[in-house]
Structure 1
Amino acid sequence: MKNLFESGKPHYGRFKVVPQCIDIHDFHYISPFKRHITGLEKNLRFKSFQFISLNNSQYMVGLAVVDLGWVGHGFFYCYDRQSGKVLEKSFLQPFGQHTHVCNHQVGSSSFKKSSFLIEIKKTASGRMVKVRRGKHLLLDASIAIEDTEPLVLCSPTGASGWTYTHKQTALSVTGNLYFNQQAIDLKSQQFVAALDDTCGILRPETAWHWLSLSGVESTGQRLGLNLASGVNETFVSENSLWLNGKIFELPAVLFEQQAKNQWRVYSADGRVELSIETQWRRHESKNFGVVASQFNQWVSAISGRVGCQDKTVKIEAQPGLLEQHYARW
C-alpha cells in the first residue's frame, strides 16, 4: 500500500503490509456538522507516537517519542526484575518543540530536551534506536522486523476520526544497553523487542487497556502477544498472537483487576485466559485542563493459555507490559 489515504479518506481494515506514506495533510477532516477542519486545529487534533520495548528474563526497557500537538513527550526506562533497580527519564516539550514522529514507512523520529535525546531511524528492514543523556549513551540498538509478520490496521474512531497502528513483537535485536555501570550485550543476553507505531484523529477523551508480550520459550519458539480494549474495536481488532513470526488474530478481551498486583485478561469464548502479576510501575498523572493524562504501565509476569487454531499455547510467567491509560487531548 503506497498511501493510507485515498480521496481524502483512510483505508480501513487489517493489512498485510505497512503503508509507505501516512501524511495528515492527505486526510480531509470534516466535523459531524460538516465543517472542514484545517490548519492548526487539525494539527492539534492529530496524535502520533512510537513506543519500543526490549526485554529478556531479567530486564525490561521501554522508550517512546510522543507528539500530542499540545505537548511533546519523550521517556526512557530500564527495570531490573532481579535487583529492583530502575533508571527512568521523562521530559515534556510545550507544543511539540524538538519532537518529531515520522509516520511513514521510512524516516526518522526524535525527541530532545536539554541533554536528553531519543533517536529512532525507521527502515524497511527494522529500527535503529539511540538514547543519550549528555555524554552518556543509554541504549544503542538495532531491531530486525523482516522475519515477523506485522500487525497493521486502521479503524474508524468517534464521529469522524480514525486510528492507525503498526505493531510487531518478539523481534530479534542487537546492540548494547548501558545500565548500572555496565554494557549489556542485547544479542548474547537474548533480548527481544516489540514495536508500536500509532497515529490518528483519536477520541478527545479516551481510555484503554493494553497488554504486550515478547518472549522466547524453552523450546526456542518466539512468542508474541498484543491485546487491547478501548481502542481499535470498530470493524477490526488489534488482538493478535505471534508464533515464530507468524501472526494469528484473537478475539475481543476484557481486562479485569482482581487485586492490587493481580489482573485477569480473558475472552468470552474462553480462547484467551491470562493471569497478570504486576511489578514495577511507570506512572504519570498530569492535568493541565485542556489536556490531561493518567498513565500506568506495569512490568508484569504473564501466565495462562491462548487458543490458536487447533492448539493451545501455554504461557508460564513470561515478562511483558500491562498498560492502563486515560487521556483528554
Structure 2
Amino acid sequence: MYKIIGNNNKVNYGCIDEPIEWNYEAFKLLDFFNKEIKGIKKKFAYHQFNYIGITAGKYIVGFATVDLGYLKNVFAFIYSEDKGMILESDDKCLGFSKKMDFPRNPDNYITTFNSGKTSVRVEKSHDRGMLHVDCNFKDQLKFKGNFNFSIESHQPLRVLNPSVPTRFTYTEKCSPLVANDFEISLDGNPLAFETDNVTAIYDWSGGYLRRETNWYWTAFGTILPNKTSIGANFAAFTNETYFSENAFWIDHKRTRVSRVLYDFNEQEPYQTWHVYDEAGLVDLIFTPDGERSDKINGGPLVKTIFRQFVGSFDGFFKPADGGKVEFTKVKGFCEIHRAIW
C-alpha cells in the first residue's frame, strides 16, 4: 500500500496506480519560514471535495460534497437540453457541524450529509470495485445509481503533487463510469432517459491546497454510437510543474496528457472555448449552454468565484498507440474557479 507521507515529513509525490494509505495526519504543515502550523489552523488548512457529474439522455446532473475545515457545503443541479437549468440546490454549514460525514480515505468511504429535506450518500470502494450514489435534494431532485469503478478496470488518474513547497494536493479523476442501474425523479415524477448510456465523471481531491487556488477545468464522458466509451478530465493552473492532472480514456484505457491549454474569453464565456495540448493528442471546441455559479466574499479570509458551464464538445483524441477518435456534441462541463480559502 502506497503511503502518501513517508519518513521525515517526505511527501511521496507521484502518479499512483495502487491502493493508498491516506496517512495525512503524519504530515507536518509548515508556514513560509518553516515554522510548524498546528491545531485549528492546520485543521482549517485541510480541504477535501468530491464532484460527480452524471449524464442521462437529455439530462445532466452535477453534485458535490465539500469540506473546507471551517465550512462544509453540498450542492447539486439538474440541467436539461430543452429546458436549461431546471433546479439548483445549495446547503452550507459550519465546519464543526455533524450534518456531514466525509471520511479521510479516497479509496474506500461512505460520505453522508443530512440537513432538512436534503440527504446525500456516496459510497465508494476500490476494494469492491463500486461506486453508489443515493441523493435527495430539497425533496425535489432525487436520484440513485450504481457504477463499476476500480483501479484495475478503469485506470483512474491518481496523482500526488506539491501545492507549494510546504503543502500537498492529491486528486483522483476518471471518466466515464458506466451505470449498472440509475433512476432519477423531479418533484415526484420519474424522468425518462436512455438507460443504456448513463455515464458519470468522478473527481476527488484532498490535501493542503494553496491559500489562493485557481483553475480552469474540463470533464466529460459518453458511449459513442459505435459503442466506444470515451472520457476526459483536464485542468490548468493546478500542478503543471510536477505530475500532470490531465488524462483522457478510450474504452477505459488511460492516456496521460502533459499540459492542456485554454483559449477562450473569460469576460465572454458563452463564446466557444478551445481546449487543446501542444502535442496534438487533444483538440476540443466547447460550446456552453448554461451554468451554475456561486460567489462568496468573506473579506480577506475567504473569497470564491465559481462558474461551472454545461455544454457540448466537438473534437478528437489521438492516443500514442492508436488512431484518432473523433466525436461531436458530447455533453460535459467546463469551469472557472478562483478562491482565497
TM-score of the two chains, using structure 2 as the length reference: 0.90
Match of residue 160, structure 1, among 160, 166, 187: 166
Q: Please say which of residues 229-238 and 254-263 is displaced more in the overlay.
A: 254-263
In 2, are the aligned partners of 1:169 and 1:213 still within 8 Å (CA)? yes
297, 319, 340: which one pairs with 1:328?
Answer: 340
Matched, 1:112 2:111: no
Matched with 2:88 is 88
CA distance in 2, matches of 1:263, 1:220: 27
SS in 2 for 1:10: coil
Q: Say yes or no: does 1:99 pair with 2:100.
A: yes
Q: Distance in 1 between matches of 2:167 and 2:246?
A: 21
User: Equivalent of 2:313, from 302, 305, 321?
Assistant: 302
The aligned residue for residue 121 of structure 1 is 123
Contact 2:304–2:337 (CA under 8 A) maintained in structure 1: yes
1:300 positional shift: 1.4
By how many angstroms is 1:269 displaced?
Answer: 3.0
Which residue in 2 is equivalent to 1:132? Answer: 136
Question: TM (normalized to structure 1)?
Answer: 0.93
Rounded Cα–Cα distance in structure 2 between residues aligned with 1:326 and 1:18? 31
Farther off after superposition, 222-231 or 307-316: 307-316
Bigger drift between 108-117 and 207-216 goes to: 108-117
Cα distance change on mapping 1:96 and 1:76 into 2, 3 Å: farther
Q: Give distance in 2, aligned partners of 1:285 and 1:95.
A: 19
| Matching of residue 16 in structure 1 with residue 17 in structure 2 | yes
Give how far 1:228 is off.
0.7
Contact 2:52 2:64 (8 Å CA) reproduced: yes
Change in 2 beyond 3 A, CA 1:312/1:220: same
- How far residue 295 of structure 1 moved from its aligned partner, in angstroms, is 0.1
C-alpha contact (below 8 Å) 1:67/1:100 kept by paired residues = no
The verdict on how the C-alpha distance between 1:186 and 1:130 changes in structure 2, with shifts beyond 3 A counting, is farther
Residue 33 of structure 2: aligned partner: 33
Residue 293 (1) aligns with residue 297 (2): no
**Cα distance 1:9–1:175, how it changes in 2: closer, same or farther (>3 A)?**
same
Output the CA distance in 2 between the equivalents of 1:22 and 1:326: 27
> Following the alignment from structure 1 to structure 2, what is the Cα–Cα distance between the partners of residues 183 and 50?
26
Alpha-carbon distance, 1:135 to partner: 5.6
1:148 pairs with 149, 154, 174, which one? Answer: 154
Deviations 1:108-146 (A, max 9, x none): 112333221211112221221111246667111212113
Deviating more after overlay: 137-146 vs 215-224: 137-146
What is residue 55 of structure 2 aligned with on the other side? 55
Contact 1:72 1:94 in 2 (8 A): yes
- Distance, in Å, in 2 between the alignment partners of 1:11 and 1:121 is 27
CA distance in 1, matches of 2:240, 2:101: 28
CA distance 1:328–1:253, shift in 2 (3 Å)? same
Distance of aligned partners of 1:96 and 1:315 in 2 relative to their CA distance in 1, 3 Å threshold: farther
Gaps of 5+ in 1: none
Q: How many residues align?
A: 328
Distance 1:136 1:326 in 2: 30
- Distance in structure 2 (CA, Å) of the matches to 1:96 and 1:143: 32
Distance 1:269 1:212, change over 3 A: same
1:188 is aligned to 2:195: yes
Taking a change above 3 Å as real, the CA distance of residues 311 and 111 of structure 1, as seen in their structure-2 partners, is same
> Cα distance, 1:3 vs. partner?
2.8
- The DSSP-based 3-state class of the residue aligned with 2:318 is strand
Give the superposition deviation at 1:80.
Answer: 0.9
Superimposed CA distance per residue, residues 281-315 of structure 1 (whole angstroms, 9 cap, x where no aligned partner): 00001111211110010111011122211422212
Contact kept in structure 1, 2:63 and 2:74, CA below 8 Å? yes
What residue is the counterpart of 1:208 in the other structure? 215
User: What is the alpha-carbon distance in structure 2 between the residues aligned to residue 187 and residue 204 of structure 1?
Assistant: 43
Whole-angstrom CA distance in 2 between matches of 1:253 and 1:136: 38
1:11 deviation in Å? Answer: 1.4
Q: Residue 320 of structure 1: CA displacement? A: 0.7
For 1:121 and 1:185, the matched residues in 2 are separated by 25
Question: Identity over the aligned pairs, expressed in percent?
Answer: 24
Range moving further from structure 2, 297-306 or 3-12: 3-12
